Amino acid sequence: MENSAIIKINDLVKSFPMGKTHFTALRDINLTIGRGEFTGLVGPSGSGKTTLLNIVGSLDTPTSGEAWVLDHSVGRLSARQSAQLRKEELGFIFQSYNLLVVHTVYENVEFPLLLLKIGAPERKKMVMDALEWVGLTDKVRSKPPQLSGGECQRVAIARAMVKKPSLVLADEPTANLDAANSHHILKTMVNLNRELNTTFLFATHDEKVIKYLRRKIYLLDGKIDKISEQEQT
């Protein structure tokens, strides 16, 4: 596996104003994540894993230090450049799926391709391929309210993967799923990671997810507590 750095974080600090003082959510974060990794930010609630994931996803900016994502310093990007990075290179999977409820499964998965202005025939093929990866080709016309939680998360994975991004950021992707669905979803992501060499970065405290991670970055009170690597189970 090619292991060139896709994420490089140097002395990152993130604090939020809280009344007259500041709350520091992340401090002294130094981290490198290579291409093709299947890595998780692990820690209890409030440890700063979602904040770090948001900064890597260029949805937020560091207070100090630098976060390099695909050779872009997130804190220095303009709103347009930041959006461009997310549009072209990043895929997001959220705990509560964040599907567009009035759109069909097909339209949800098609959405990132519309933003990339990909032509209709190619778009259709890419959407159907993505739905095939997650086993939902029979649900193209369904709308999210008609799907189970597991199916919704599979749609979200298809939407994140359809444009074959370099990096997928998954924030507690199994938190709303039962064990069987969680394993199904995680296996799907492991397969996509292997087949497409897409880097996956999770934020989780779910043991089911942790079992699948090849590298675990433990966060505690906004700091990296330890990093452990293990072979995939």
Partner 1 sequence: MKTAFKLAYRNLIGAGLRTWLNVIVLSFSFVVIIWLKGILMGWDYQAKSDMTNWEIGGGQYWHESYDPYDPFTLAESHSIIPQQFSDEIEQGDMVPVLMVQGTIYPQGRMQSITIKGIDPDQDLFLLPTHQLDTATDAVPAIIGAAMAESLQLDRSDHVTLRWRDARGTFDATDIVITDIFSSNVPSVEAAQVYIPLAILREMTMMQGEATLLTFRDPEAERPAVQGWVHKPKEVLTASVDRMIKTKTAGQSVFYTILLLLAMLAIFDTQVLSIFRRQKEIGTYIALGYTRREVVGLFTVEGAMHSIFAAVVGALYGLPFLAWQAEVGWTIPMDAGDFGMAMAQTLYPVYSAGLVISTVLIVVVITTVVSYWPSRKIAKMNPTEALRGRIQ
Report the length, in residues, of the chain: 233
Contacts of 78 (CB under 8 A, 6+ apart): none
Strands 199-204 and 167-171: parallel
Count of CB atoms within 10 A of residue 142's CB?
Answer: 15
Torsion, Cα of 185, 212, 200, 198 (10° steps): -80
**Complex with partner 1: residue 40 or 57, whichever CB lies closer:** 57
- The residue among 94 and 176 lying less far from partner 1, judged by its C-beta, is 94
Asked if 161 and 191 touch (Cβ cutoff 8 Å), the reply is no
Q: Where are the beta strands (DSSP E) in 70-214?
A: 72-73, 90-93, 167-171, 199-204
**H helix intervals, 90-178:** 105-115, 120-133, 149-161
- Residue 153 interacting with partner 1 (CB under 8 A): no
Q: Does 77 bind partner 1 (CB under 8 A)?
A: no
57 belongs to the binding site for partner 1 (CB under 8 A): yes
Binding piece for partner 1, criterion CB under 8 A, among 54-62, 173-181, 185-193, 199-207: 54-62
Nearer to partner 1, 81 or 230 (CB): 81
Evaluate whether 102 touches 143 at the Cβ level (below 8 Å).
yes
Q: Which CB atom, from 1 or from 101, has the smaller least distance to partner 1?
A: 101
CB of 216 to partner 1, least distance (A): 23
The binder of partner 1 chosen from 37, 60, 172, 206 (CB under 8 A): 60
Q: Is position 198 an interface residue for partner 1 (rule: CB under 8 A)?
A: no
User: Taking contact as CB under 8 A, which single stretch among the options 25-33, 50-58, 64-72, 193-201 is the one that binds partner 1?
Assistant: 50-58
Binding site residues, partner 1, CB under 8 A = 50, 54, 57, 59-60, 79-80, 82-84, 86-88, 92, 94, 96, 98-103, 107, 111-112, 114-117, 143, 159
